[in-house]
Amino acid sequence: MSLHIERREFLKQAILAGTATASLGSFGQLRPALATQKSPNEKLNLAFVGVANKGAHNLDQLTHENIVALCDVDEVHLGPMAERFPKASTYADFRQMFDKEKSLDAVVVSTPDHTHAIPVMWALRRDLDVYCEKPLAHSVHEVREMRKLAAEKKAVTQMGTQIHAGDNYRRVVEIVQSGQLGPVARVHVWQGNTNRPGVRVAQGTPPATVDYDLWIGPAPMRPYHPSHFHFNWRYWWDFGNGTLGDFGCHYMDLPFWALDLRDPTSIEAKGEKTVGGDNEVPDSMRVDYQFAAKGDRPAVHLTWYHGDWRPQWATEYDKAGAVLFEGTKGRLLADYGTLKYFMNEGDVPAAPPQTIPNSVGHWKEWTDAIRSRGATTCNFDYSGALAEAVLLGNVAYRAGQAKISWDAEAFKTDTAAADQYLQREYRKSWTL
């Protein structure tokens, strides 16, 4: 007998016995997600919202589970996946998927930023576990709501910061936390990527294979044009968050982890367009974050740079993207796969003892935690704080202020000019 037949029979008997009431989730639906531990040999029933590019990559990592439902607004992307997973039901609209699929354990969301939050919230309200791509959501408000609901539902969550599971990041965290660099009060993070030029149009016709209205979702309706569609959505405020939103969660993850950072107290941002076109997001940008002292750790000044505004010595280090920790005893340069010491005096020290176990794998961490009802390393509590900080860089830039203060507990800045960018109005008929 299959797991889900056994589960349904158990719940049926529980209802008859009057003992299932406490298991009811939102909308009166019995919790299909795993409230108790599950055998490691039992497969999870997964749904995927967004199946191209990063969605396809996520699918590739999870093919050993039951692929129950596939959802994408573009038939060109959905068709090949439907052929690959013929037993899976297919949908263009995730709302229909959630209404019809009752056996799901968890959902993977790999859509553009502007359509992350709503399917995640729908999944969480149905007591499903969730994997969502970075930067978790389009706005700071959406991230905060996702964090709150995930905590309330005790959901097993993971943000798509795959580099977090790599051995190199773990070794860097051990070095910084061992004290070999001395107290670290200054961090530089940079990414040399720049935005692609785009154009605005008064009217346009989307491909016949695309449900463009669903693709727009809660964002303001904009006439179709390839310069803001599929990957290019990153470079327009209606849909994405520029290079900072694209890479910030990957690179800033390292200092957040190593220095136990959480909520910045102030953010100062400036940027400019350098590659032409109508793109709204800056091609070059600098964001200065201040974090308060915490325990034995001093206050931290972290600077993010991208595009042409990389720090001068970034070229000397020959790294297109990297993190530099500056301690009182020396510096440490790291990227996704390498690290290098620059000590003030003496030889490079031996690596400290390994204190952080190697990961079983980014996706396996999530599926293992679903089965055991444990925690993941990039759960929405940790990754949500990281994503909020990243997105606050764009809030500060758009506000046009010299510096903004951030009160994370009260969820507000010190200026209405910035507060207006913490969340957005949704298009009619769309709600969080």
pLDDT in tens, 245-295: 999 999 999 999 999 999 999 999 999 988 878 889 999 999 999 999 999
208-229 mean pLDDT: 96
pLDDT value for 114: 98
Q: Are 365 and 158 in contact (CB under 8 A)?
A: yes
Q: What is the pTM of this model?
A: 0.91
Ranges 94-103, 194-203, 275-284, most confident: 94-103
139-145 mean pLDDT: 98
Q: Is the pLDDT of residue 18 over 60?
A: no
Short-list 378, 188, 174, CA closest to 302: 188
pLDDT value for 8: 34
Domain ranges of the chain: 3-163, 166-358+380-419
| pLDDT band, residue 352 (cuts 50/70/90) | very high
More confidently predicted of 384 and 37: 384
Q: What are 374-413's pLDDT values in tens digits? A: 999 999 999 999 999 999 999 999 999 889 999 999 999 9
Q: Are 133 and 161 in contact (CB under 8 A)?
A: no
Phi and psi (nearest 5°) for 53? Answer: 55, -115
Q: Specify the CATH architecture of the domain 166-358+380-419.
A: 2-Layer Sandwich (3.30)
In degrees, rounded to 5, the angle at the alpha carbon of residue 278 between the alpha carbons of residues 277 and 284 is 75
Q: Are 355 and 53 in contact (CB under 8 A)?
A: no
| pLDDT band, residue 39 (cuts 50/70/90) | low
Give the C-alpha separation, 41 to 39, whole Å.
Answer: 5
Q: Which CATH number fits domain 3-163: 3.60.10.10, 3.20.20.70, 3.40.50.720, 1.10.10.10?
A: 3.40.50.720
- State which amino acid sits at residue 16: L
Q: How many residues does the chain have?
A: 432
Neighbours of 254 (CB within 10 A): 24
Residue 167 DSSP label = H
- The helix/strand/coil state of 286 is strand
Q: Are 123 and 100 in contact (CB under 8 A)?
A: no
Q: Are 273 and 255 in contact (CB under 8 A)?
A: no
234-238 mean pLDDT: 94
Q: Give me 356's structure tokens.
A: 């952080």
Tell me the pLDDT of the chain averaged across its residues.
Answer: 90
Hey, do 3-163 and 166-358+380-419 end up sharing a CATH topology, with the first three levels equal?
no
Q: Is the pLDDT of residue 91 over 90?
A: yes
CA distances from 207 to 24, 79, 90, 213, 240 (A): 42, 15, 19, 12, 21
Q: Are 128 and 103 in contact (CB under 8 A)?
A: no
Sheet harboring 45-49: ordered strands across? 89-91, 66-71, 45-49, 106-109, 129-133, 157-160
Q: Are 154 and 351 in contact (CB under 8 A)?
A: no
Q: Which residues pair with 187 in a beta bridge?
A: 302, 325
